[in-house]
Structure 1
Amino acid sequence: MPRPTLIAALLLLGLTAARAHSEPSPAQEMAVAARAWLDSLALPQRQQAVYPLADAERENWHFVPRDRHGLPLKSMSPAQQQLARQLVAAGLSERGLLTTDAIIALEDVLFAMEGATRRDRGLYYFTVFGVPDDHGTWGWRLEGHHLSVNILIADGSRIAVTPMFFGSNPAEVRITHAQQGRRALAAEEDLGRSLVRSLDPEQLTVALIADHAPADIITGNDREAQLAHPTGLPFASMTPAQQEHLRALVAVYAGRLRPEIATAELQRIADRGWHQVHFAWAGSLTPRQPHYYRIHSPDFVIEYDNIQNDSNHIHTTWRNFTGDFGRDLLREHREHDHAAGK
């Protein structure tokens, strides 16, 4: 496995790769892609796909296999599916897009294992909230089993990206199948474990918050993530190499987003101070045994859990305590409009 320092350098290069100034911003690209997809839909499809921005459905998010609101892939033509994928590509990085593809493709593996009709890669739903305007406030969602991407654009420029859920079942495909050996979330698992195993006994005593991993991510699909004061090993109690390792692990989660957005998210953490961030672990340090970790500050939490299906079933989430669903941006937007007399 590459050293964390190398991983951090490679991620940093990817996250800070500048695009030409003549190219549209991420918010503009998403607006263009959303309009192109919506324009391709027939009226009944469009009625299924579009909700008002203020509709409560925007915060009705899930990551289990169940019926959802929006337009599923299986109800689109191949051309419409391609336009929907271009919307995702406008918000995610190449790696994020490929990881999304890998998570969706695992439905084929689950169908081979179970034969259940709910295991269907066509049951991933696209929804637009509001009107995708280059200078407006609107949002979009991609959601299905083990995947929930929620993006809000405020005033055509500011972007909120949480809650974001990526999961993988199986975490490693171990049956005889075309996807045998695939690990959709390998970096999330391997970097987390290598970080905790780098801790000395005194550090590990602080980082280890429980001998047994919780049954699932603690924040679940709550509309407002709530966790107590950050616990675990503080950033300041890590060696410089471990601090770099932790930054690299956070960059794996941020790096699902396109570089400009990911860089802004990482800068936001740096501006508030890495000293506020804690790393906590629960469960075993041994591969293929139940384990959990979280990266936690007063502003955000990243959770990873692998306990189900003989520890071959990963859930990961990234939550913002004040900014999930862009609540902080919407509040600022409303205050600005009120001050301007709009």
Structure 2
Amino acid sequence: MRRRSALIATGVTLALVTGGATTSAFASTPASEAVTAAAVADTTPAIVAATNAFLATLTAAQKTAVQFAWTNTTQKKKWSNLPQGLYTRSGLMWGNLTTAQKNAWLAVMQVTLSPAGYTRVRQEWAADDQLASGGGLQYGQQYYWIALIGTPSATTPWQWQWGGHHVTVNATISGTEVALYPSFIGAQPASYTSSGATVKPLGDIWTSAYALLSSLTTAQKAQAVRGSTYIDLLYGPGQDSRAPSYEGIAGSALTAAQKTQLLTLISGYANLVNTEDAAGRLAEIQATLDQTYFAWYGPQTSAGNSYFRVTGPRVIIEYSPQAMGGTAANHIHGIYRDPQNDYGAAITG
């Protein structure tokens, strides 16, 4: 059980739908700060309240469409990075919701995610508006889907699922615990302009990974760098049963400063979830950091067209440039998993 101190308010400040995500980029919270942050109250009651408030905005037909039984393992694993037209999702499509219903759902995401995590997801989501539709494929924020698996509860397990092209969040809630794995963390384009500002949804993640690579000695790079060109995801959609591939340089072979850099990179993903659950999440990863590996495929430059992977007993992270649709560095596929807790396996019993 995680430590908790002062109560936090369960109210949510809504970010009203305005047709775009927050435009400013942000930096990852340093891992040391995240792990030692003051404990807060259990977030689950606020998540449940926000989800029930969302359900209250729906019609009877919409409730039937969005709700699935907890035993529906097919729906739990029904997600993809492919755009509408190449993959059929179930639930409620964002473009078919009213503004009130959209804002009610954003409240669910806001209370489940951290402020930085919510900003990242909104920026990834808004990036899809930059892509032109054509050839039967459909891009844009309207083509994202919501599903609820199980009944929102502060005691028994359930899952909310949201996603579409290049970004999916699977959130399993069980008692006081929240697990955001597996989630797809990607973006196309990886850099765009919104309201006159440059937006890079994954910019801080790339910067952290490149900083870690740059800190390695020649001998350490000989372990970490596994190839001269980027590779595709190993652990993407449909790869739930694939065993972790431990390659690269182990945390045990890093200096204390390099371990801090590795944790800062990981925090870009671990801090997607709310502050309470993020502290416990980073503690889990830090406890097995010596057995966690960092691998790099591609040029050892800052151009952004390289693949990296973090693999440990409690985390799998992948960042994979894609050649389709322009410059590889501007089209990123990514994954975030926990080998022991995907779909809440470790917390749902």
Q: What TM-score range do you get, normalising by the shorter chain?
A: 0.7 to 0.9
- 1:2-30 CA-to-partner distances (Å, cap 9, x unmatched) read xxxxx777554456544665xxx221111
Query: 1:181 aligned to 2:198?
Result: yes
The match for 1:4 is: none
Contact 2:263 2:286 in 1 (8 A): no
Q: 1:74 aligns with which of 76, 95, 102?
A: 95
CA distance in 2, matches of 1:242, 1:170: 30
Q: Could you tell me how far apart the structure 1 residues matched to 2:47 and 2:29 are?
A: 28
Gaps spanning 5+ residues in structure 2: where? Answer: 1-26
* Separation in structure 2 between the aligned mates of residue 9 and residue 254 of structure 1, nearest angstrom: 10
What is the Cα deviation at residue 290 of structure 1? 2.8
Looking at structure 2, the residues matched to 117 and 299 of structure 1 have their Cα atoms a distance apart, in angstroms, of 36
Residues 53-132 of structure 1 mapped to structure 2, 5 A cutoff: 53-55=70-72, 56-66=74-84, 67-111=88-132, 118-132=138-152
Q: 2:189 aligns with which of 170, 177, 187?
A: 170
Please report the TM-score for the alignment, with normalisation by the length of structure 1.
0.86
What is aligned with 1:31?
48
Runs of 4+ off more than 4 Å: 7-12, 14-17, 113-117, 176-180
| Aligned Cα root-mean-square deviation (Å) | 2.2
Aligned length: 316
Asked if the contact 1:105/1:121 (under 8 Å) is kept, the reply is yes
Note closer, same or farther for the CA distance 1:99–1:115 as it changes in structure 2 (3 Å cut): farther
Distance in 2 of aligned mates of 1:32 and 1:177: 33
How far off its partner does 1:275 sit?
0.8
- Residue-by-residue CA offset, 1:41-90 (whole Å, 9 max, x unaligned): 00111111111111121111211213311111111110110000000011
Change (3 A) 1:264 1:19: closer
- Structure 1: runs of 5 or more not aligned: 1-6, 333-342
Paired with 1:63 and 1:305, the residues of 2 have a C-alpha distance of 13
Deviation, structure 1 residue 138: 1.1
Report how far residue 117 of structure 1 moved: 6.3
1:63–1:144 CA contact under 8 A, matched in 2: yes
Q: 1:265 aligns with which of 281, 286, 290?
A: 281
Residues 73 and 228 of structure 1: CA distance in aligned 2, closer, same or farther (over 3 Å): closer
- Cα distance change on mapping 1:45 and 1:117 into 2, 3 Å: same
Distance of 2:160 and 2:206 partners within structure 1: 28
Contact 1:15–1:259 (CA under 8 A) maintained in structure 2: no
1:154-175 per-residue CA deviation (whole Å, 9 max, x = no partner) reads 2x222222001111111122xx
In the TM superposition, what is the alpha-carbon distance from 1:267 to its structure 2 partner?
1.0
The reply on whether 1:45 has 2:78 as its aligned counterpart is: no
Q: 1:223 to 1:45 in 2, by over 3 A?
A: farther
Question: Partner of 2:226: helix, strand, or coil?
Answer: strand
Tell me, in whole angstroms, the C-alpha distance in 2 between the residues paired with 1:291 and 1:279. 13
Deviation of residue 298 (structure 1)?
A: 3.2
Does the 8 A contact of 1:288 with 1:310 survive in 2?
A: no
SS in 2 for 1:294: strand
**TM-score when normalising by structure 2:** 0.84
Distance 2:304 2:177 in 1: 41
